[in-house]
Amino acid sequence: MMFIIRTAGETPSGTGFTIRSIRRTPALASGGTRDFFCDGDPDAARQQQLNVVPLHDGWYADDTGGGVAIWGQGRFWELRDTPFTVRETSAEVAMRPDGTAADSEVVNVRQAIFGV
């Protein structure tokens, strides 16, 4: 699950999450000056007294022209260098150490959507 830890500038440390991207907190948001996009357990971060901001479906721009695309209420995400260039995805994180997908169910997307 992807979520934001918002701080006054210090890098959060702790267990239960991995920092994936960083940006300045947008002017419209309050509660800090730095946003750390994290993958992991938001409850573990909250238990460590960190300021956790949940993410909803959408696009979260970073400071360099890229950003983070979120869907499935934070369950699925892509880190992008530009709006069209994917650098890292949640699908890569879901791989097992042996290189196989964590979810072994194969879905025929065309058939599931269009019945073809």
- pTM for this predicted structure: 0.77
**Count of Cβ atoms closer than 10 Å to residue 78 Cβ:** 20
The torsion angles phi and psi of 57, rounded to 5 degrees, stand at -55, 135
Asked if residues 44 and 1 have their Cβ atoms less than 8 Å apart, the reply is no
Query: Which pair of tokens denotes residue 110?
Result: 């065309």
- Reported as a single tens digit per residue, the pLDDT across 18-63 is 999 999 999 998 888 999 999 999 999 999 999 999 999 999 999 9
Which residue is listed with tokens 């999450």? 17
Please tell me the distance from the alpha carbon of residue 61 to that of residue 66, in angstroms, as a whole number: 6
